[in-house]
Amino acid sequence: MPIPSCHREFQHPIASEITPRAVYEERRELLRLWAAGAAGATLAAWAGREALAEATRPGKLAALPGGASAVAGAMSLEKPTSYQDASTYNNFYEFGTDKADPARNAHTLKTTPWTVEVEGLVKKPGKHGIEDLLRLSAQEERIYRMRCVEGWSMVIPWVGYSLAELIRRVEPLGSAKYVEFVTLADKARMPGLGSRVLDWPYVEGLRLDEAMHPLTLLAFGMYGELLPNQNGAPVRLVVPWKYGFKSAKSIVKIRFTEKEPATAWNKAAPQEYGFYSNVNPMVDHPRWSQATERRIGEDGLFAKKRKSLMFNGYEAQVGQLYAGMDLKKLF
Amino acid sequence: MNKLLMHPAAKPVIFGLALLPLMWLVLAAATDQLGANPAEALIRSLGEWTLRMLCLVLAVTPLRVVTGTPALARFRRMLGLFVFFYAVLHLLAYAWFDMGLDGAEIARDIAKRPFILVGMLTGLVLLVLAATSFNRAIRWLGAARWRMLHRAVYAIAGLAVLHFYWMRAGKNDFAEVAVYAALLAALLVWRVWHHRQQRYKAPTPVQASGIH
């Protein structure tokens, strides 16, 4: 793709675009391993995981294969949560506030035709059909940890590509500082919209450099298949180092703005849900500790909860985005 | 109806019925029927059953008066003790599954979360009432003082709803809380109304039975 010069100017100041030391050091480490002949074992583990992902394909929806991602930190080696758990226990308030509600009620969601409108401070605003979005860049599999603000976690193999791929193509203006994501709000198909729990439509947002980070995923599938409705079909965001609610589902609009977007949970309870909402075991939710989490399907009834990790374990990849920020204040 | 309620089997039957929720939960946990997060499901279900039992026990007197079935009073103590029973299980499930039976952790959690503090307070008041629920305690305390003490059940109702409300505040979702609050409020309002009615009438020995 030819890259216009203004594009380059825009890209230049983004710290996340500079190959972090950890990444190139990791590459050198890998080369060293190859040279040392240890690559065989590494590759075997790699292939083994792919075989595992293949074996756990639930066979419920159309396949959406993705090659293993090369993005640093994108392939967690932890055991993926079962598809059954990941697709029946989640929050999607548009379909009800109980975590079993989305799986029960989301069959009413109609995902075709579907368009995502890109608007605001970009050179190329416009509507993108879901078919075009699916083909916009190569689909990758990414195994991410998912930490819910409520204190539970999963490991989910998503399929998608870096949101940055889309952002580069729509060419944000220099004045664009934030990206806002709007979820569908269709009263006829989403029974949860009848309640006034949140201010609909559900709006989430990221700083532009967060949105451009290669780990920020525009996901179309999980477990090698298209997303089930209850998990945010046909297209959603996955920001693995932030609490789950930051990852907007069933996106219909992506808007580039100069001001920090007013996000749904922040509007509902500003003292409890900050704009950043990075996973941070040191900063408790006002009403509960965030130091530990329960891994769904893995930690038994009587097992102690496991310790939560700074930036959900993605500190090496995303820590530099928040250098110098007081994360206690900007929680 | 009265005859049926006075039947010797009536108490064991109610006892068995009140145990059914627990049996169902144990069976569901054993057969992996509690969804992706069985710990959370158990803690919450036990809390909800505590609230339901509380509604039931507070409905005994209004039902007894309105339907004219004095025999209902026989079940009040047992149902009250079932409130305590489910509250203890609720607390145990929380302490074990959520806190790993770590005393220091629980102490920190009480300080951290107001709704946990309120839950603990509710439990304490319940404990006092359960500990003074047997006949000899009534004799020790004297009927009037015992009755005063056991009016603390209204405080329990208020605290329990506050506990539930605060817990749900995070989800900003008060639909279920409102149902329990409305039910309990209706049961309390009925008592105030009934008490006033009684006072307007010529004093009768019935009044001595208090407003329970």
3-state secondary structure of B39: helix
Report pLDDT for A303. 80
Report pLDDT for A15. 54
The CATH number that domain A5-322 falls under is 3.90.420.10
Token pair 């293949």: residue: A54
Kindly provide the ipTM of the predicted complex, given to two decimals: 0.77
The DSSP H or E segment spanning A56 is: none
Interaxial angle between packed helices A21-35 and A39-55, expressed in degrees from 0 to 180 and rounded to the nearest 10: 110
pLDDT exceeds cutoff 70 at B211: no
The pTM score is 0.80
Contact B173 A152 (CB under 8 A): no
How far is it, in rounded angstroms, from Cα A294 to Cα A77? 18
3-state secondary structure of B184: helix
The per-residue pLDDT for range B50-85, each reduced to its tens digit, is 999 999 999 999 999 999 999 999 999 999 999 999
B34 secondary structure, DSSP code: S
Report pLDDT for A22. 59
> CA end-to-end span of chain B, whole Å?
21
pLDDT exceeds cutoff 70 at B5: yes
How far is it, in rounded angstroms, from Cα A19 to Cα A22? 8
pLDDT band at A18 (very low <50, low <70, confident <90, very high): low
pLDDT exceeds cutoff 60 at A2: no
Report pLDDT for B4. 84
Q: Which residues contact B82 (CB under 8 A, 6 or more apart)?
A: B18, B53, B57
Task: List chain A residues with CB under 8 Å of B100.
Answer: 304-305
Helix, strand, coil % over all residues of chain B, rounded to 5: 85, 0, 15
Ramachandran region of residue B28, left (φ > 0), alpha (ψ -120 to 50) or beta?
A: alpha
B128 secondary structure, DSSP code: H
How large is the greatest C-alpha to C-alpha distance in chain A, in angstroms?
62
Any chain B CB within 8 A of the CB of A269?
yes
Structure-token pair, residue B27:
């069976």
Give residues 170 to 209 of A whose Cβ lies within 8 Å of B.
195, 197-198
Task: List chain B residues with CB under 8 Å of A80.
Answer: none
Contact A296 B36 (CB under 8 A): yes
Task: List chain A residues with CB under 8 Å of B108.
Answer: 289
Question: Of the given ranges (A282-291, A310-319, B73-82), which has the lowest mean pLDDT?
Answer: A282-291
Token pair 């047997």: residue: B134
Token pair 């949140």: residue: A198
pLDDT band at A1 (very low <50, low <70, confident <90, very high): very low
Report pLDDT for B113. 87
For residue A82, what is the nearest residue in chain B, using CA coordinates? Answer: B36
Q: Count the neighbouring beta carbons within 10 Å of the beta carbon of residue B176.
A: 15
Q: Strands A292-295 and A203-207: what pairing?
A: unpaired
Structure-token pair, residue A86:
């990941």
Task: List chain A residues with CB under 8 Å of B170.
Answer: 150, 269, 272, 285, 287-288
